[in-house]
């Protein structure tokens, strides 16, 4: 623990503090200030108090986007963690090419979200359509042109991208499970399934929390994949919160209103993150 807080302590800290306050604290404060005005991006007219905030809660579009985001997040979290854990179990088992497989599974995560969106757009709209037309499968045609296919398109894209990342976290925990415990269980006659459920799962439980909140905050703040894959279409039904806020600000030019939405969004994300920290800390104590 560093206790001596003399001049050099603050001087060393200063670059970071200055940078942090310039790019995080000041804009945040300004943003909150703007959300109480009728700012149009050019000049501040007058204070409007909580008017923007009241309007947000009557804004059907914002609520629809929020609801869509929540639905998307829940489904994605379950699927990403399921696939992530499955992949981790595969590559930690005794198969030969596990090192290579790890790299391959992790790779989608290295591609930028925008590009991934366009790649998958191609797959959904051309490849799916091609296969669908060829074999006469109607379910594969016209993807991304309905709300449902747009939703599942986004879920598939996110699962594919993030499963590898989450896999790495699970691998770390899985490899720290003591082999003698598993051997003991084996000798006691536990089946592979029982070993998984009663020995391995409890020991990798902390990984669940970490992964869950990582995926949660990632899917909740999603913007680029959303933009490039569906663009919110059809008729804004696959539009998520970040995109809704961006559109309010830069398409409809209601900057102060968008700012109010952003503040509310910030609060939601902050609550989620703080809950994560709280639960993690609690678990650490229990361990």
Q: Compose the 84-103 pattern: x for residues touching other proteins by CB under 8 A, - for all others.
A: --------------------
- Closer CB to other proteins, 24 or 104, in the complex: 24
Torsion of CA 189, 192, 198, 200, to 10 degrees: 130
Dihedral (CA of 207, 212, 215, 218) sign: negative
- Closer CB to other proteins, 221 or 236, in the complex: 236
Q: DSSP letter string over 184-223?
A: HHHHTT--HHHIIIIIIHHHTHHHHHHHHHHHHHHHHT--
Determine the Cα angle at 66 with ends 41 and 231, to 5°: 70
Q: Compose the 107-146 pattern: x for residues touching other proteins by CB under 8 A, - for all others.
A: ------------------x----------------x-xxx
> Residue ranges of the alpha helices (H) in 60-178?
60-92, 98-106, 113-122, 128-135, 147-175
- Closer CB to other proteins, 8 or 46, in the complex: 8
Verify binding: residue 236, other proteins, rule CB under 8 A. Answer: yes
Three-state DSSP at 167 gives helix
Verify binding: residue 235, other proteins, rule CB under 8 A. Answer: yes
Burial class (CB in 10 A: 0-12, 13-18, 19+), 237: middle
Rounded to a whole number of angstroms, the minimum distance from the CB of residue 184 to other proteins is 53
Rounded to a whole number of angstroms, the minimum distance from the CB of residue 89 to other proteins is 37
Rounded to a whole number of angstroms, the minimum distance from the CB of residue 14 to other proteins is 5
Verify binding: residue 251, other proteins, rule CB under 8 A. Answer: yes
- Closer CB to other proteins, 43 or 188, in the complex: 43
Dihedral (CA of 223, 225, 227, 231) sign: negative
Verify binding: residue 14, other proteins, rule CB under 8 A. Answer: yes
Verify binding: residue 285, other proteins, rule CB under 8 A. Answer: no
Rounded to a whole number of angstroms, the minimum distance from the CB of residue 285 to other proteins is 36
- Chain positions 167 to 196 lying near other proteins, rule: CB under 8 A, are none
Verify binding: residue 20, other proteins, rule CB under 8 A. Answer: no
Phi-psi region of 44 (alpha: psi -120 to 50; beta: other; left: phi over 0): beta
- Closer CB to other proteins, 144 or 214, in the complex: 144
CB 242 within 8 A of CB 222: yes
Composition of the chain by helix, strand, coil, percent to 5: 75, 0, 20
**Sites of contact with other proteins (CB under 8 A):** 6-8, 11-12, 14-15, 18-19, 40-43, 125, 142, 144-146, 231, 233-236, 247, 249-255
């Amino acid at each position: 623990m560093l206790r001596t807080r003399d001049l050099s302590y603050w001087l060393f800290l200063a670059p970071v503090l200055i940078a942090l306050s310039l790019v995080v604290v000041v804009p945040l404060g300004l943003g909150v200030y703007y959300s109480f005005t009728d700012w149009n991006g050019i000049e501040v007219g007058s204070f409007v108090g909580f008017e923007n905030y009241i309007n947000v809660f009557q804004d059907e579009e914002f609520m629809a986007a929020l609801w869509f985001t929540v639905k998307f997040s829940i489904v994605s979290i379950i699927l990403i963690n399921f696939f992530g854990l499955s992949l981790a179990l595969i590559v930690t088992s005794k198969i030969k090419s596990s090192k290579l497989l790890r790299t391959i599974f992790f790779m989608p995560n290295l591609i930028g979200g925008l590009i991934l969106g366009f790649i998958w757009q191609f797959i959904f709209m051309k490849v799916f359509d091609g296969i669908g037309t060829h074999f006469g499968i109607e379910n594969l045609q016209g993807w991304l042109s309905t709300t449902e296919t747009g939703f599942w398109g986004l879920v598939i894209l996110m699962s594919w991208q993030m499963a590898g990342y989450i896999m790495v976290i699970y691998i770390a925990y899985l490899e720290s499970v003591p082999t003698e415990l598993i051997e003991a269980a084996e000798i006691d006659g536990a089946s592979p399934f029982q070993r998984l459920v009663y020995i391995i799962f409890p020991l990798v439980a902390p990984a669940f929390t970490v992964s869950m909140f990582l995926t949660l905050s990632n899917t909740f703040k999603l913007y680029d994949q959303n933009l490039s894959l569906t663009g919110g279409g059809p008729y804004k039904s696959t539009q998520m919160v970040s995109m809704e806020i961006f559109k309010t600000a830069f398409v409809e030019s209601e900057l102060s209103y968008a700012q109010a939405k952003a503040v509310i969004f910030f609060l939601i994300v902050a609550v989620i993150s703080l809950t994560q920290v709280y639960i993690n800390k609690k678990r650490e104590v229990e361990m």
